[in-house]
Chain A
Amino acid sequence: MTDRVPVLKIGEILLVSIQVDLEDQMVLDLQEDLSNQIVATGAKGVVIDISALEIVDSFVGRMLATNASISRVLGAETIVVGMRPAVAMTLVELGLSLKGVRTALNLERGLKLLRRLSASRG
C-alpha cells in the first residue's frame, strides 16, 4: 500500500497540495480520488498545487492533463498552480504541452481565476 495524496474540500473547491516525490501508483490513485471526490462533493473547481514538486515527468504531466479533461466533463474546472520555472522549462523540452490544463502562478491567483470562471459561467 502506498500513501495517498490528501484531497481537501473548501467550500465548492477541492484543494490538492502535492508535498512528496510521487510514486507512479500515487499519481494514479490521486487521479481516481479526484474524479470520485468531484462527483461526491459536487465541487465546481479543483486546485492542484505543485509548488513543492521538483520534477514533472511525462507520467505526472499526463495525469494533470487527463484530470483537467475528466474534471471538465464532470462540471469542475481544474487549475494547476505553483509550477517552478525550472519545471516549466523542462516540460517544454520534454515535449509535454499540457494542452487544456489551466495554470496560475500561485494558489491565490488560482483561486481568483476559479472565482472568475465560475462567475462567468453563472
Chain B
Amino acid sequence: MNDYGAVSASVETVPVANSSDVVTARQMVRTLAQRTGLSLVHQTKLVTAASELGRNMLIHGGGGVVRATTVADGGRSGIFVEFQDQGPGIPDIELALTDGWTSGNGMGLGLSGAKRLVDEFEIESGSGGTTVRIVKWGR
C-alpha cells in the first residue's frame, strides 16, 4: 500500500482491549470521515468495515491498537485505518478471506466483507500478530 502523504502528527489512536473500545474506535473513524468530507454511504461502509476489523482484532487477536488518519493522493482525500494486534496471527489468509469461513462461531463475513467495503485492503500476519490496513477514498 502506498504511503499517501499521511501526516503522522494528525494520527488518531484508540487502544482496543474490550468491546466498548471497538465502539470508541469506530466513532473515531466516523468523526474523521465526516471531517474529511466522505459521502454518507462511504462513511457508512468505512465505519462498518472498521467495526468488523476492530472486533476481529479483539476476539481473534486479543486486542490491539487502531490508528487512523486522513490521507491525500493527487486531488482526492480519504481515510487510512490500521488495525494492529499481537495475537496468534492468521495461518491461511486466503482461507480467512473466504466468505463464510470462520475458525470460531462467527459468520465468517467480517474479513471478506470489510475488504469489499473499502478501496484498498492489506493484511500482514505472522506469529507476532496481525496488521490490517484499509483506505476509503472520498468519491
Count of B residues near A, CB < 8 Å? Answer: 27
For A28, give the chain B residue with the smallest CB separation.
B19
Bound CA span A21–B23, Å = 7
Bin chain A's interface residue count: 20 to 34
Given contacts A25-B19, A86-B41, contact A54 B106 (CB under 8 A): no
> B30 — which chain A residues lie within 8 A by C-beta?
54
> B19 — which chain A residues lie within 8 A by C-beta?
23-25
Bound CA span A118–B67, Å = 50
> Once the chains bind, are A58 and B41 in contact (CB under 8 Å)?
no
Bound CA span A47–B68, Å = 36
Bound CA span A29–B112, Å = 27
Is A93 at the interface (CB under 8 A from chain B)? yes
> Once the chains bind, are B99 and A57 in contact (CB under 8 Å)?
no
Given contacts A24-B22, A24-B55, A55-B26, contact A90 B44 (CB under 8 A): yes
> Once the chains bind, are A23 and B51 in contact (CB under 8 Å)?
no
Inter-chain pairs besides A57-B110, A95-B99, 9 sampled, C-beta below 8 Å: A2-B20, A24-B55, A55-B47, A55-B48, A57-B51, A58-B109, A59-B51, A89-B41, A96-B107
Q: Can you give 27 A-B contacts (C-beta < 8 A)? A: A2-B20, A21-B26, A22-B23, A23-B19, A24-B19, A54-B44, A55-B26, A56-B48, A57-B52, A57-B110, A58-B52, A58-B106, A58-B109, A58-B113, A59-B55, A86-B40, A86-B41, A89-B44, A90-B41, A90-B48, A90-B117, A93-B116, A93-B117, A94-B109, A94-B116, A94-B117, A95-B109
